[in-house]
């Protein structure tokens, strides 16, 4: 069992405002949102970053991508949204459990970088 912040959120040991959960995936609102809609989608299995993904994760990551679109639409992002995956030092990743940021809920997001 991993002593990792997002593993602990997935297990319900640390509270988070979850908007979706199934046997393989959890989505919860970011504690420090940078857009009116800002949630994170994670695989329950501990994968530190996108750099650590292997062939064994292909199915869950494919499912995760499909879930993102459904959740974004449910959150009112009917005219688009932004997904971000920060990876490693260069990507300024802070939490080393792979997560996809989903951002939206505004007319147009600011440009990236
Ligand atoms: P990263 O830079 O690793 O892609 O972003 C990590 C994200 O996790 C940040 O946007 C941060 O606000 C969010 N975060 C960090 N700790 C917690 C927490 O305990 N609960 C929730 N819901 N989000 C968190
Ligand atoms: Zn983890």
Calpha distance 93→76 (Å, rounded): 27
State whether the Cα torsion 18-20-86-35 is positive or negative: negative
Residue 59 φ then ψ, to 5°? -65, -45
Q: Is there a domain that residue 112 lies in?
A: no
| Residues ≥6 apart with Cβ < 8 Å to 24 | 43, 44, 45, 60, 63
Asked if the structure places residue 109 within a domain, the reply is: no
What pLDDT is stored for residue 24 in this prediction?
98
CATH number at residue 69: 3.30.428.10
pLDDT by residue (tens digit) across 44-79? 999 999 999 999 999 999 999 999 999 999 999 999
Structural domain contains residue 40: yes
- In this predicted structure, what is the pLDDT of residue 113? 74
Q: Would the CB of 24 count as within 6 Å of ligand 1?
A: no
* Within-domain flag for 110: no
Q: Whose CA is nearest to atom 24 of ligand 1?
A: 31
pLDDT digits over 84-97, tens only? 999 999 999 999 99
5 lines ligand 1 (CB under 6 A): yes
Mean pLDDT across 99-110: 96
């Amino acid at each position: 069992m991993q002593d990792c912040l997002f593993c602990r959120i997935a297990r319900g040991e640390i509270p988070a405002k979850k908007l979706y959960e199934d046997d393989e995936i959890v989505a919860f609102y970011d504690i420090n949102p940078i857009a009116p809609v800002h949630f994170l989608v994670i695989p329950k299995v501990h994968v530190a970053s996108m750099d650590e993904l292997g062939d064994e994760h292909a199915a869950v990551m494919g499912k995760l991508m499909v879930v993102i679109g459904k959740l974004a639409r449910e959150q009112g992002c009917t005219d688009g949204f932004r997904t971000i995956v920060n990876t490693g030092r260069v990507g300024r990743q802070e939490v080393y459990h792979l997560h996809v940021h989903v951002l939206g809920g505004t007319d147009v997001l600011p440009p990236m970088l």
